[in-house]
Amino acid sequence: MSNTITTPTKRATRRAPIYLHIAAWAVPAMVLGEFAMLAIVPVAVLVIGTLVDARVKPLRWWAGLLGVLYATPLAIWLLRDDGAQSLSKDMSPILGVLIVAASVALLIKVYTRRRR
């Protein structure tokens, strides 16, 4: 009789890391709350996190889309001579809606990913 204790093998979790959940929720909250310039931090976390972490590889396109959509009003704001004092006031409402829609789509993908 063997005295070895067998432990059940744990399935590898395929959940997105918590920092991606927090960053994905922070982007629409900051853009809608008119803290669009500070939203650069969670957008960067999402883009870099999806590039580095293999667990969230399917989210790369969604994070890239969000990064491009966020970079567009930021570049316009930086390149304009007569821009407003804040990115939130200078951003077009259409671009704001697109950023929020892309971040909501990313959130939906985070929560509805298939587990294998």
Q: Residue 36 in contact with residue 96, Cβ under 8 Å?
A: yes
* Cβ atoms < 10 Å from Cβ of 110: 19
Burial 97-107 (b: 16+ CB within 10 A, else e): ebbbebbeebb
Burial 51-66 (b: 16+ CB within 10 A, else e): eeeebbeebeebbebb
Residue 11 resides in a domain: no
Q: Give the pLDDT score at 71.
A: 95
Q: Give the pLDDT score at 30.
A: 94
Summarize pLDDT for 51-91 with one digit per residue, the tens.
998 888 889 999 999 999 999 999 999 898 887 788 888 89
Q: Which residue has the tokens 């890239």?
A: 64
Rounded Cα–Cα distance for residues 89 and 17 (Å): 33
Q: Residue 46 in contact with residue 67, Cβ under 8 Å?
A: yes
Rounded Cα–Cα distance for residues 54 and 56 (Å): 5
Residue 57 resides in a domain: yes
Residue 94 resides in a domain: yes
Q: Give the pLDDT score at 25.
A: 94
Statement: residue 116 has pLDDT above 60 = no
Q: Which is more confident, 115 or 102?
A: 102
Residue 88 resides in a domain: yes
Q: What is the pTM of this model?
A: 0.81
Residue 55 resides in a domain: yes
Residue 9 resides in a domain: no
For the chain, the domain total comes to 1
Summarize pLDDT for 30-54 with one digit per residue, the tens.
999 999 999 999 999 999 999 998 8
Question: The domain containing residue 74 runs over which residues?
Answer: 18-111
